[in-house]
Amino acid sequence: MAGEQVPLKTYRGNCHCTAFVYEISLPEIKQATECNCSICYKKASIFVFPKPSDVRFVKGDPSALTNYTFNEKRFTHKFCSTCGVSLMVVGHLTPPKAGEDKAPDNGFNIRTFQHGQTDVWKLDIKTFDGAALPSAYDAPKFTGFPPAGDAEDLQLYTGSCHCGAVTVGLKSKPLNKDSQGLMECNCSICGRYGATWAYPPKVQVVIEGRENLGEYYFNKKIASKRFCKTCGVPVCSEAAECTEEQVAQMDEASRQWYTRSKDLTAFNLRLINGLNVNDLNPTRFDGYTFIKPGYVEP
Ligand SMILES: [Zn+2]
Ligand SMILES: [Zn+2]
Ligand SMILES: [Zn+2]
């Protein structure tokens, strides 16, 4: 097909707080490849790689994103330190030969595209078995005191962010394809985080290294989204600390949500070791349409 021009489509994306907005052009995305390596799995990142000349930052300088590397540092994973959204990865898909001067590839996480440009839930997604690559990842261990919850049907699950600054213990009913009450949401923040949420009572969760969590509030500022400040893995979402007076002043929908949520932790199951969220059956919630006021795309 020499000389045949594939028409390019422009995709616009951004982190949630809108500090970083980009446009990339590439052939229409009809399928994507999800890598199951330790970092892509925890971040739920699905990357596409436009040509460097087809990348434009509309707002924000990508060098101001927070960098995270590990192992041989082949790829730099870049996320926004304000909202914890992982925007892109920079590195060579095929390593340069000795003496070769080759610009690195830029991968953009399609979960950060603006709403309606691709639908991750409908896309044909293939898996790249990055977990099988030789550079093994040693999952950091949770060494904290196990959370409360001694009902017989509860078992202890442990895990961490990628870098290990945050480790977690969760008491939960067995997590499997029959588990109820798990959720994936396509709202502006959950869609970008790619999280698979469980909603255990707070007492059934222990988070070690809380001081390493970034906190992000938006919209009505009643929920705090928390992510590891070092590696950018989304950890949990919790109701903000509000006084009775503040609760009394909330609108009805917010007050109902707050009352229901204040003793729960929305917990990202992608942190758990030895569990694959693809083996679960989370409910898919159209939060993007449901949550009002809606998110304003920059
Ligand atoms: Zn941001
Ligand atoms: Zn981390
Ligand atoms: Zn959501």
187 with 126, same domain: the answer is no
For 133-144, give the DSSP string: SSS---PPPP-S
In this structure, the number of other CB atoms found within 10 A of the CB of residue 212 comes to 20
Q: Is there a single domain that holds both residue 184 and residue 248?
A: yes
Task: Indicate if the pLDDT at residue 3 is higher than 70.
Answer: no
Q: Are 79 and 87 in contact (CB under 8 A)?
A: yes
- Same domain? For 194 and 118 the reply is no
User: What is the 121 CA–ligand 1 centroid distance (Å)?
Assistant: 23
Confidence of residue 146 (pLDDT cuts 50, 70, 90): very high
User: What's the 81 CA to ligand 2 centre distance in angstroms?
Assistant: 12
Q: Are residues 123 and 184 in the same domain?
A: no
Residue 238 maps to a domain: yes
- Cross-strand pairs, 238: 224
Whether 1 is in a domain gets the answer no
- Mean pLDDT for the stretch of residues 175-189: 97
Q: For the domain that residue 112 is a member of, what is the CATH number?
A: 2.170.150.70
205-208/167-172 β-pairing:
antiparallel
Q: Does residue 132 register a pLDDT over 90? A: no
Residue 37 lies in a domain: yes
ipTM: 0.85
How does the average pLDDT of the chain come out, rounded?
Answer: 94
**Model confidence pLDDT, tens digit, residues 216-268:** 999 888 999 999 999 999 999 999 999 999 999 999 989 999 999 999 999 99
* Ligand nearest the Cα atom of residue 285: 3
- For residues 78 and 85, is the Cβ–Cβ distance under 8 A? no
Question: How many A from CA of 99 to the centre of ligand 1?
Answer: 37
Distance between Cα 252 and ligand 2 center (Å):
36
Residue bearing the bigger pLDDT, 1 or 13: 13
Q: Do residues 261 and 187 both lie within one domain?
A: yes
Same domain? 191 vs 110: no
The yes-or-no verdict on residue 4 having pLDDT over 80 is: no
Q: Do 117 and 20 belong together in one domain?
A: yes
Residue among 249, 69, 70 at smallest CA distance from 78: 69
Q: Does pLDDT of 2 surpass 80?
A: no
Q: Are 17 and 126 found together in one domain?
A: yes
Domain contains 205: no
- Whether 297 is in a domain gets the answer no
For residue 39, the model assigns a pLDDT of 95
Tokens for 100? 């070769």
Closest-lying ligand to the alpha carbon of 288? 3
Would you state the pLDDT for residue 179? 97
144 in a structural domain: no
Over 70: is that where the pLDDT of 212 sits? yes
Whether residue 125 is found in the same domain as residue 233: no
User: In terms of C-beta density within 10 A (0-12 exposed, 13-18 middle, 19 or more buried), how is residue 85 classed?
Assistant: buried
Q: Starting at the edge strand that comes first in sequence, how are the strands of the sheet with 223-228 ordered?
A: 213-216, 223-228, 234-239, 266-268, 197-198, 183-185, 283-285
The pLDDT of residue 149 is 84
Q: What is the pLDDT of residue 291?
A: 86
208 Cα to the center of ligand 2, angstroms: 11
In this structure, the answer to whether residues 196 and 123 fall within a common structural domain is no
Distance (angstroms) between ligand 2 centre and the Cα of 37 equals: 15
Judgement on whether residues 108 and 25 belong to the same structural domain of the protein: yes
Q: What is the pLDDT of residue 227?
A: 98
What local confidence, expressed as pLDDT, does residue 284 receive?
97
In the predicted structure, residue 213 carries a pLDDT above the cut 90: yes
Nearest-CA neighbor of 160 among 134, 138, 177? Answer: 138
Task: Note whether 125 and 12 are same-domain residues.
Answer: yes
Percent of the chain with pLDDT over 90: 84
Ligand number nearest to the C-alpha of 191: 3
CA of 132 to the centre of ligand 3 (A): 31
Sheet of strand 155-160: strand arrangement = 155-160, 167-172, 205-208
- Inside any domain, residue 110: yes
Distance CA 18, CA 293 (A): 17
Domain count across the chain: 2
Containing structural domain, residue 124: 8-96+103-130
Give domain status of residue 141, yes or no: no
Q: CB under 8 Å to 61, separation ≥6 — which residues? A: none
What are the tens digits of pLDDT across the range 87-117?
999 999 888 899 998 889 999 999 999 999 9
Q: What is the amino acid identity at position 117? A: Q
**pLDDT band at residue 136, thresholds of 50, 70 and 90?**
confident
